[in-house]
Structure 1
Amino acid sequence: MTLHLLIFLSFVYLLIGCSGEELVIFGAMSLTDALTEVSQRFGEVRNVKVYCNFAGSSTLQRQIEKGAPADVFISASPRQMDALQEAGLLYDGSRQGILSNRLVLVAPVTSSLAITDARLLPQDSIRRIAIGEPNSVPAGIYGKEALTHLGVWDAVQPKLIPSADVRSTLAYVESGEVDLGIVYQTDARLSKKVKVIYQFPDSSHSPIVYPAAVLRDTRSKVLAQAFLDYLQTAEAAAIFEKYGFSVVN
C-alpha cells in the first residue's frame, strides 16, 4: 500500500473507536471537491462519520484488490469497476452509473494558443501536452480514444507528458510546465489558472460515466447502500451539478 493510504487508514482506525457508525468511500480524484461536500452532507443527515480516500481510479482499484477496507467505490470509468466486478469484489446488484462528465483541453490562463480543432495539436507551436497515463488513468484513456478518433494520436505522442491522475494533469498546466492538458470540464472549472480552449466531441470517445458500487467486504451493507441511494437524491444532484457534473438518470 502507498504511504498516503497507510496514513489515511491509520487515521480512520483511530477515529472508529471514538464514534458510532462510519463509512469509508474510495472516490476518483476528479470527484474530490464534489464528493467531499456530498459525503459531509450525508454524514450530517445520518449522524455518521464518512471518510473519503481520493486517488486515481486505477490506484483505488489496486488498493481494493489488495484488501484495503472500504465500503463504497466510485470510479471515473467503468473499466476499473468491471475489473472489481469480475473479481467478485462488488456487492451483487449494487452497481449503478451516477454521473457523467465532459473532456476538454485546457491551457494556462495567460496562453495565447487558440485551438478550434484537435487536428491542430501536431503544430510546432505546441510542444508539451499533459494527459493522464493513457493506459490506466480514465481521463488519459478517454483522451487517447479522442486523439485516435480525430487522427492525431501518432503525431502528438512525442509531446505527451503522462500523469498519475487528472488533478496532476491540471497541476502541470497551472504551473506552466506544459502548453496544454487534457482534463475533465469539472476540474477545469475549479482552477483560476487555466482556461478551456477546446471541448472534445462526445462522439470521439467512450461515454464518460462514473459507476458506483457497494464493495463485497463492506462492514455495513445497509449504510453503504443508503449512501448510494443518497447519491440519487435531488440534494446530492444539486451539489454535483454545482461542480459541473451531469447526473445520470
Structure 2
Amino acid sequence: MKYFVYILLALSLLINAGCSNQESTEEHKLFISAASSLSNVLSKLGDEFESEHPNTTLTLNYGASGKLAQQIQQGAPVDLFLSADQKWMDNLSEQKMILENTRANFTENKLVLVSANNTNTPIDNLKGLMNTGLDQVALGNPESVPAGSYAKEVLTASGLWQDIQNKLVYAKDVRQVLTYVESGNTDIGFVYASDLKRSNMVTEVKKINKSLYGPIEYPTAVMASSDTKEKAKTFINFLQSDEAQSILAEYGFGS
C-alpha cells in the first residue's frame, strides 16, 4: 500500500512540474497600437521589455491617435492603446472599450516649430507665421492628429487660425509633418519636442508657450476585448518604471 502511495505522489509531482514548466514557457503576444510620435522610443522600450519577458512578443502598430482609436472601435484586435492625448482615450472609455482601472498617463511632451536645416526661418513670435516669406505651414490634421489639434489650439489662442488657413498643409500624422519639413515641401511645421531627437534634418525655430495649449499627456490602457489582459497590465507597469522613464527622457519625452 505504501508503495502505491509513493507512486501516486511521484506521478503528482511530475504532473505539477510539467504544468509549472508549461506556464513558464507559455508564449504571449501583445498587439499594441501607439501614437506615431512614439515610434522610435517604443521600439527601444519594446526591446527592453522583451528581453525581460522572453516569452512575450510585441507587435507594434503606429498611426495618428484618432485613426487608431477608430480602428479599435471597428474591431481591430488590440491589447493596448497608447494615445498622444486624452481625447481619444476618453472616446474609447465612453464606449466602455477600455479597462478603466488600467488607464494611466506614462509621459508628456511639448510643442515646437521646426524648419529644415540650413534654412533661414526667423520667427520672433507666432505673428511671424503670417510673413509673406513663409508660404506653407505643416501640421497634423486636427481632426485625428493630436499634434495638429494642439497646433490649432495655439493658432486659435494667438488669433491666427482664420487668417492662416491658406498657408496650412495638413498631414496624416506628426511623422508626415517631419517629412514635409525635411524635404522642403513646407517651410515650417508644428511637431513635438521629442521629434527633434527623431530627425537630424530639422532645426527648432521656436518653442511654443505652454500657456497656449493644453497639457500634452500620453495615456495608455488595456482594451476590454484583450485576451492577454494580465500581460498587457505588466507592460503598463513597465512603462511607469524608472528604467522606461529614463529611456523616454533620453528620447525627448517628459515635462
Match of 1:126 in 2: 134
RMSD: 1.1
1:77 is the counterpart of 2:85: yes
User: Residue 43 of structure 1 is aligned with which of 46, 50, 61?
Assistant: 50
Contact 1:170/1:188, CA 8 A, preserved across alignment: no
Equivalent position amino acid for 1:123 in 2: N
1:95 is the counterpart of 2:103: yes
TM-score with structure 2 setting the length = 0.88
Equivalent position amino acid for 1:124 in 2: T
Match of 2:164 in 1: 156
How far the C-alpha of 1:151 sits from its partner, in A, is 1.5
Structure-2 separation of matches of 1:157 and 1:200: 19
Contact 1:23/1:71, CA 8 A, preserved across alignment: yes
5 Å-filtered alignment, 1:104-115, equals 104-115=112-123
Structure 1 unaligned regions, length at least 5? 1-18
1:224 is the counterpart of 2:229: no
Match of 2:36 in 1: 29
Contact 1:163/1:169, CA 8 A, preserved across alignment: yes
Secondary structure at the aligned position of 1:154 is classed as coil
How far the C-alpha of 1:55 sits from its partner, in A, is 0.8
How far the C-alpha of 1:188 sits from its partner, in A, is 2.2
How far the C-alpha of 1:189 sits from its partner, in A, is 2.3
Structure 2 unaligned regions, length at least 5? 1-25
1:56 is the counterpart of 2:64: yes
Structure-1 separation of matches of 2:78 and 2:154: 33
Match of 1:166 in 2: 174
TM-score with structure 1 setting the length = 0.90
Number of positions where the alignment pairs a residue of Structure 1 with one of Structure 2: 229
Equivalent position amino acid for 1:89 in 2: M
Structure-2 separation of matches of 1:21 and 1:190: 30
Secondary structure at the aligned position of 2:135 is classed as coil
Deviations 1:222-248 (A, max 9, x none): 10001000101011011111100017x
Secondary structure at the aligned position of 1:82 is classed as helix
Contact 2:69/2:88, CA 8 A, preserved across alignment: yes
Misfit runs of 4+, over 4 Å: none
Structure-2 separation of matches of 1:154 and 1:92: 38
Structure-2 separation of matches of 1:134 and 1:91: 27
Secondary structure at the aligned position of 1:155 is classed as coil
Structure-2 separation of matches of 1:125 and 1:134: 25
Match of 1:214 in 2: 222
